[in-house]
Structure 1
Amino acid sequence: MARADTLARAGELDRPELAYLVPFRTADGMRETELTWAELARDTDWATARLREHGLTAGQRALLTASGFEGFWGHAVIRALKDLRVTYGIAEAMGWDHRRTSVFHRELRPHAVIGLSAETLEGLSGAADIGEMFRPTRVVLARPAAVPMLRAVGVSACLFSAVGPALALECPERGGAHVNAAEWRINDREGELSIAAGEQRTSPLPETPLGIPGRVVAGRCGCGSEDPRVLFAEARQPLSSRS
């Protein structure tokens, strides 16, 4: 049987509603929640709209830095890039894989770099000027500890982070990282974030303290979104001295 026929037959098979068991860290240790295929599809639609706000469109190139255990949101971002017809490369977000980030950035010359971590920047700083490297990149979406490091060297970085089982993604207004209000209820209590499943989420999750310092901004953003925005407490990490 030809491969195309095999894939067509496989597509007709029933599959369980469950797509992932999502592990995430809370204030009291690790926890798991379920992620269905329908929820993943909605997460993809939301991520697609957010990336489109940053100007991503067909024919562009992107570099995604992510770890395997982050598949619960990484899958939604990858599917969003595919829906936008953006060519992408993937590097590990851990510092030991910083050379792959460097190679992809040089060879792809990406319109967007998504998911940059402080660990990757630490690794790159030993061999490159990260300001010169990323200032020409039109869209840089970085994790909370990496954003102040990038902004300090003139890179207009926006926030991009997991918040428990949810994804937070800052718009070009740079007023905090949006969280999908249709799927999640995000709050802050005594300076730390908590999350619960929203009304559209079929997988239950009661309000869960995450132990992440930050606060939530409600109200309409300058981009027009009513989604709440997360502002993380600054966790700047100094770049290592060059050898």
Structure 2
Amino acid sequence: MARADTLARARTLDRPDLAYLVRFPAADGAGETELTWAELARDTDWVAARLREHGLTAGQRALLTMSGFEGFWGHAAIGALRSLKVTYGIAEAMGWDHRRTSVFHRELRPHAVIGLSAETLEGLSGAADLGELFRPTAVVLARPAAVPMLRAVGVPACLFSPLGPALALECPERAGAHVNAAEWRIGERDGELSVAAGEQRASPLAETPLGVAGRVVAGRCACGSDDPRVLFGEADQLS
């Protein structure tokens, strides 16, 4: 049977609502929740809208750095890039894979680099000037520990980070990383962040402390979004 026929047959099969069993780092160890296909589709649409705000559009190229265990976050990011018709390459967010990040960056000349980690930057810094490498890149979205490293060398990086089962993504205003308020409730207690399922979420998740230092900023952002914004520990350096 030809591959096209196989795929056509597969699309006629019933598919369970459940897409992922999600395990994520929490203050008391590992938190758990479920993720349905409908929720994943909404997460993907939300990420696509945030990337569109950064100017990503059809025909551009992007480099995504995500680790294998981040599959459900990565799925939303990949789906968003596909929906925007942005060509992408993928490298691990671990330091040992920094050479692949370097090669992709050189060969793709991406409009955007998404998910840069401090470990990747530490690996790259031994062979390249981080400022020279990433200043020409129009959009740089980096993990909380990587943002101050990039801003220190003149790269106007924005925040991009898993936050429990949610995803936090900063807009071009660089006033904190937005979290989808329709899907998640983000809280703060004693300087640490928590997450719970929002009203639209079918998969239950009680308020779960994440053991992540940060604070929540409410109110409308200058970009026009009413989604809450998160400032992560040392990444709270708006400039």
Which interval holds the TM-score relative to the shorter structure?
over 0.9
1:40-63 residue CA offsets vs partner (Å, 9 max, x unmatched): 000000000000000000000000
2:61–2:111: 8 Å Cα contact kept in structure 1?
Answer: yes
* Corresponding residue SS for 1:105: helix
Tell me what 1:214 maps to.
214
Which residue in the other structure is 2:143 paired with?
A: 143
1:164 aligned to 2:172? no
What secondary structure sits across from 1:168 in the alignment?
strand
Is contact 2:147–2:235 with CA below 8 Å preserved after alignment?
Answer: no
1:105 & 1:12 partners in 2: Cα distance?
A: 40
Q: Deviations over 1:92-148 (max 9, x none)?
A: 000000000000000000000000000000000000001000000000000000000
Give, in angstroms, the shift of residue 2 of structure 1: 1.5
> In the TM superposition, what is the alpha-carbon distance from 1:219 to its structure 2 partner?
0.3
Structure 1 equivalent of residue 133 of structure 2? 133
Aligned match of 1:5: 5
Q: Which residue of 1 aligns with 2:26?
A: 26
Determine the structure 2 residue equivalent to 1:68.
68
| 1:116 maps to 2:116 | yes
CA drift at 1:235: 6.3
1:72 is displaced (CA, Å) by 1.1
* AA at the equivalent of 1:196: A
Which residue number in structure 2 is paired with residue 182 of structure 1?
182
**Structure 1: which amino acid aligns with 2:164?**
G
Structure 1: which amino acid aligns with 2:183? E
SS at match of 1:234: helix
In 2: Cα distance, 1:217 partner to 1:120 partner: 29
TM-score, length-scaled by structure 2 = 0.98
Root-mean-square deviation over aligned CA pairs = 0.9
Task: Render the CA deviation track for 1:160-219: whole Å, top value 9, x for unaligned.
Answer: 000000000000000000000000000111100001000000000000111100000000
Supply the distance in 2 between the matched residues of 1:88 and 1:108 (Cα, whole angstroms): 8
Inter-partner Cα distance in structure 1 for 2:227 and 2:147: 21
Find the aligned partners of 2:185 and 2:235 in 1 and give their Cα distance.
Answer: 24
Q: Which of 97-106 and 19-28 deviates more?
A: 19-28
Q: What secondary structure is seen at the aligned counterpart in 1 of 2:44? A: helix
C-alpha separation between the residues in 1 aligned to 2:25 and 2:108?
33
Whole-angstrom distance in 2 between the partners of 1:115 and 1:80: 14
CA distance in 1, matches of 2:89, 2:139: 15
Distance 1:11 1:198 in 2: 30
Paired with 1:51 and 1:158, the residues of 2 have a C-alpha distance of 11
Q: Distance in 2 between matches of 1:135 and 1:187?
A: 34
The one-letter amino acid of 1:175's match is: A
Q: Is the 8 A contact 2:25 2:164 kept in 1?
A: yes
Who is 1:241 aligned against? none
Deviates more, 1:175-184 or 1:23-32: 23-32
Supply the distance in 2 between the matched residues of 1:10 and 1:82 (Cα, whole angstroms). 21
Kindly provide the amino acid, as one letter, of the partner of residue 37 in structure 2.
Answer: W
Contact persistence 2:58–2:86 (CA under 8 A):
yes
* Segments ≥4 residues shifted beyond 6 Å: none
Normalization by structure 1: what TM-score? Answer: 0.96
How do 1:188-203 and structure 2 match up within 5 A?
Answer: 188-203=188-203
Task: Give me the whole-angstrom Cα distance separating, in 1, the residues matched to 2:100 and 2:11.
Answer: 34
Quote the offset at 1:3 in angstroms. Answer: 1.1
Provide the rounded CA distance (Å) in 2 between the counterparts of 1:92 and 1:65.
Answer: 5
Give the corresponding residue for 2:85.
Answer: 85
For residues 41 and 8 of structure 2, what CA distance do their matches in structure 1 show?
Answer: 20
